[in-house]
Structure 1
């Protein structure tokens, strides 16, 4: 602001005591501005000092209207004066009575007069125990202490509204709040450091919800930097970078959903996930409009959950949300934080769970965000071999620093407790677990045992799953891990990482690569298709056909299939028939449900008009039917975790390109899945079954209602007591080309 002169160090001392403290105030390095500012009782009255850069006149106004003009003690903006004894009720010799004295500051600046509250009257609102927990990195409710919290503080008989700001920056030499909170660009609101905890705090009266702010941080290197609040609960829409003061006023109505979630946890139920990038699902809609339309779509298709690509605030839309700058703020692209709460609440009211992608591995280098926050590598690891990601150009969290782990673990709890989300998918777990991830020899340093395991990141993941398990045992944590790390879904007290689910990326690669071959080339790769079923019970798996498989030149699921449009449609139908019968929970990225032809782009919407084509509409109907049967037939979702939910019928018929297996429910039910991945139908194909009698054709991916040719078994087959494939009975099936058939006993 032009009316706020820049402080200068070499100015005359106007008789203010503690001139060295004055120099610190002017330089922005005074760790407790209340040493100089505010009200200080003396035997002859009260010394009042106020920091008002650019002011022409400053007057103390008492609760009863009495006034005392302060003298300019320093031209940079320090005003000082002694008000006589009796000016403040309750004054005692050497101190005040209950609470700070009641007065306001009248400031005349550039011809305007304004009555303001004095921020340096108020003590901190952060307790000693909170500071202890923050110091040791164990504060599970970190967001309740740090960040910007609108509140009221009592002075005299008045309740003074404002906002308490608090930030962790142990290396900072000084911090000021600036923005809408201070028309002098932060110079009037220096914060104070609290008890060696690394926390800086200031209550600023008059700051209301919706005010924009950031922190001006004097780093350990002597450089001032403008920084967004790491725990901002709201942020300006990109390309804006300011934090925004927010207090939720939302009233939840999902008590019934949460009670049901707690009484019957996710692992006892079918779980089928529709993965969504909000910005491109229906471009131009906000959280509330998206909630209504998405709930209709997901309900019609029968998915149990939606999973959102990261919605924490991020400046670059092309990162799809995976380069987060404000971990505690839902992106403002679609509305405010309470609009996102409405989104979750509405989906819960429709019986749909909400999962979020969560990114604890890395963050972008934007100078206004976490990078070098206090002039030191605070959130990022100081060693470039561990603090810089070679693939993504981002910085890697210092997972060995307790306060950084606390920042991340508390953030996971924050989304569950403040936004009622039902689970988190933890991104890039493989990059967390391995020191040599995407690094050549010489570019990484072994751990203390000489290995490649990132022991600090392992500790973070175990702390995450343990704390979430204690606080919210019914919340799902899924790991995106592409490696063979053992025990990802094993309990931590048994040596595992403690996740509920692990993404089965091996299944995804093997299946898509196999189905991408011309059918005449598949026989040689038959073992690859069957391989995932050999280890399906080693972890609690989720089968992902995610956004990563339809970008970066890979094409869409539709375009990856060989042949003409009819063959492509059959290939995608066969993929879905196999996927929903295969052990493991399900995940499908948006557009896959109707055979999006173009590769996905975050900058464009989906091609919904394809649903006018019977083949694409047939795919949508197939996905809905797969989900309906998945939820209706316990054989498809129970018994998995015990490894008792699957057995082979035929894994070796490479010549015919046929794969056949059984699914077993905890209730004793059975389902047979027979897949013919050849380019031709098999009219007389015998398959072993566990019992003679009538077996109903519950699903045929070649059915006409799904856009197929209608080759099948007229709704049922009769199994004869003819032993086959190690089973006491068998049936002859008509198997459609590139088709999958499900059978259940009558």
Structure 2
């Protein structure tokens, strides 16, 4: 078995390197194994012998650089490090790259952990989960440490927060939770995007079993859990992977390739052992913690050197991505979601690897996000000259399986929160934000929102503070929250809004060119019903506005963003519009609709 693990590892095909490398309980002690081909000598030091370093010299077990030792008396929960005499002769204490747990920062030792847990009860969920192409996917992205703080506690706990979080997610009709990176990391302010321990769940929020409990409870409640994974770069801290054995073992050997824009080191994705390391880490979170998918961070920095198209395609990194996605799909029978954060126009990101694609299931539509928010920042007087900011997304939408997102990146670093990006007065911002979200939830594609968006959060996200839950005591924010939950309910319960997202037949513009009025109208087409969506991004109320429709019948208003129950100004009954056989907008029928200023209208017609 050892020989097969090592063969797969060195050939860059391993998804299970963590079963061999790292610290594993054996009989009356612990087996420690590490890869450091250029080290002169390695000792295991730890709390099991009061860090005395006596008699725990590792030995090479193969000519390619794997070292191992069995230490009798070492036990689960012991802290340890590898004291490495590097290729240069320098002696440095390193964390275990395959450690399953670590000391709480600022301490940096690895901790022996037993990952066996006999309380899993999510077998039915695991058997029935899939990639969700024809299911609603409404993702709640969150930073677990700042969602809701525990009184007088520095950090929340995975287990303690589980019941409250899952109830909240269900009430707001989210289908998945996406957790910002939980691989161990040294600096709180990196939010987990500058990792040190790729197999080590961060100790900030509890134990390995506490996280397992949270995922299990989510699955029992019908909620999927996605992990934010960082396969491109890692921290340069001396205790971590950087120049692990005195050579560029995990990073590129040339500084201009290794040094990233974030002050971290880029993984050398051409090396087979690095590929096995990262693929095993990706598989680890799905296998051991039952995550339902991975959102891969900064994929554009893997596609192109340093994320810059002008520097050319990084072919080695592309081959790594294709191989990883192929092997993960093969291992987990195509049931887990693989999501790319990619800001490039590189083609076929979500195409199968069999057809020459990268093999992701979804790609964040950062173009849609940027164009939409850019449009809504503008004074309505000028919006008619930027009308295509809204219409352009449908020109390219079917080239990939896009996921519509307003993530954490949009509400930090002086960018303003979603509602505060809207042009106008306090009341106008709320009105436009409601219409924006009607647009988002009726636009084809799966959905993602960062925590606080559902509250119309006014303050930018700060990882040291919890959400401003007190906002719900203000009528405008409480009404917006109710409105957001209603949109989630509509989206997750109406197949017309999700079942054929990536089919040309599911969407049709009514009028994409009414720039002078800042009006947009389209149809979401389904088997049982059609939805007519009308969006007014002008401060003008349009009475008896005419729109072409595809079929006769009664069009009933399902939602109006200006109903007063959602914080608007309308206290009127739902509109009912009878289609007349008069051609408009190249459609055989027409309806007349009252469209409020900065408002949106959703109408349904049964087939």
Tell me the TM-score range normalised by the shorter chain: over 0.9
Distance 1:716 1:351 in 2: 36
Q: Does 1:480 align with 2:355?
A: no
**How do residues 141-180 of structure 1 correspond to structure 2 at under 5 angstroms?**
141-152=16-27, 161-180=28-47
Alignment partner for residue 65 of structure 2, among 198, 209, 216? 198
Structure 1 equivalent of residue 567 of structure 2: 707
Distance 2:51 2:528 in 1: 73
**How do residues 78-477 of structure 1 correspond to structure 2 at under 5 angstroms?**
127-152=2-27, 161-183=28-50, 185-250=52-117, 251-262=119-130, 265-284=131-150, 285-389=156-260, 391-435=261-305, 437=307, 452-472=312-332, 473-477=334-338
Q: Does 1:510 align with 2:385?
A: no
Distance 1:485 1:711 in 2: 48
Give 1:714 shift: 2.2
Distance 1:437 1:138 in 2: 25
User: Greater Rg, structure 1 or structure 2?
Assistant: 1
Matched residue SS, 1:215: strand
Matched residue SS, 1:306: strand
Q: Does 1:651 align with 2:517?
A: no
Give 1:605 shift: 1.2
| Cα deviation digits, residues 339-378 of structure 1 (max 9, x gap) | 0000100111111100011000101110000000000010
Matched residue SS, 1:522: helix
| Cα deviation digits, residues 78-121 of structure 1 (max 9, x gap) | xxxxxxxxxxxxxxxxxxxxxxxxxxxxxxxxxxxxxxxxxxxx
Matched residue SS, 2:386: helix
Matched residue SS, 1:456: helix
* Equivalent residues of 2:457, 2:468 under 8 A apart: yes
Give 1:436 shift: 5.0
Question: For structure 2, which runs of at least 5 residues remain unmatched after alignment?
Answer: 151-155
* Equivalent residues of 2:134, 2:500 under 8 A apart: no
Give 1:127 shift: 2.2
Q: Does 1:626 align with 2:464?
A: no
| Cα deviation digits, residues 479-502 of structure 1 (max 9, x gap) | 000110000001112111010000
| Cα deviation digits, residues 401-431 of structure 1 (max 9, x gap) | 0000000011111000000000000000111
1:529/1:283 CA distance change after superposition, 3 Å: same
Distance 2:500 2:63 in 1: 53
Distance 1:377 1:181 in 2: 31
Q: How many residues align?
A: 599
Give 1:625 shift: 1.0
* Equivalent residues of 2:326, 2:353 under 8 A apart: yes
* Equivalent residues of 2:2, 2:20 under 8 A apart: no
Give 1:461 shift: 0.8
Give 1:719 shift: 1.5
1:466/1:712 CA distance change after superposition, 3 Å: farther
Give 1:137 shift: 2.6
Matched residue SS, 2:161: helix
Give 1:393 shift: 0.7
Give 1:536 shift: 1.4
Structure 2 equivalent of residue 582 of structure 1: 443
Structure 1 equivalent of residue 531 of structure 2: 671
Higher relative contact order (CA 8 A, sep 6+): 2
Distance 2:233 2:298 in 1: 9
Distance 2:324 2:5 in 1: 20
Give 1:574 shift: 1.0
Distance 2:432 2:219 in 1: 34
Matched residue SS, 1:710: coil
Alignment partner for residue 577 of structure 2, among 713, 717, 723? 717
* Equivalent residues of 1:638, 1:664 under 8 A apart: no
RMSD after superposition: 1.4
Structure 1 equivalent of residue 460 of structure 2: 599
Matched residue SS, 2:217: helix
Bigger mean CA offset, 483-492 vs 676-685: 676-685
Greater helix share, structure number: 2
* Equivalent residues of 1:690, 1:727 under 8 A apart: yes
| Cα deviation digits, residues 667-691 of structure 1 (max 9, x gap) | 3532111101111211121111111
Give 1:283 shift: 2.2
* Equivalent residues of 1:711, 1:735 under 8 A apart: no
**How do residues 9-88 of structure 1 correspond to structure 2 at under 5 angstroms?**
none
Structure 1 equivalent of residue 153 of structure 2: none
Question: For structure 1, which runs of at least 5 residues remain unmatched after alignment?
Answer: 1-125, 153-160, 445-451
Matched residue SS, 1:726: coil
If the length of structure 1 is used for normalisation, what is the TM-score? 0.79
Matched residue SS, 1:378: coil
Give 1:701 shift: 1.4
**How do residues 607-622 of structure 1 correspond to structure 2 at under 5 angstroms?**
607-622=468-483
Distance 1:406 1:341 in 2: 24
Distance 1:135 1:691 in 2: 62
Give 1:131 shift: 2.3
Distance 1:308 1:540 in 2: 21
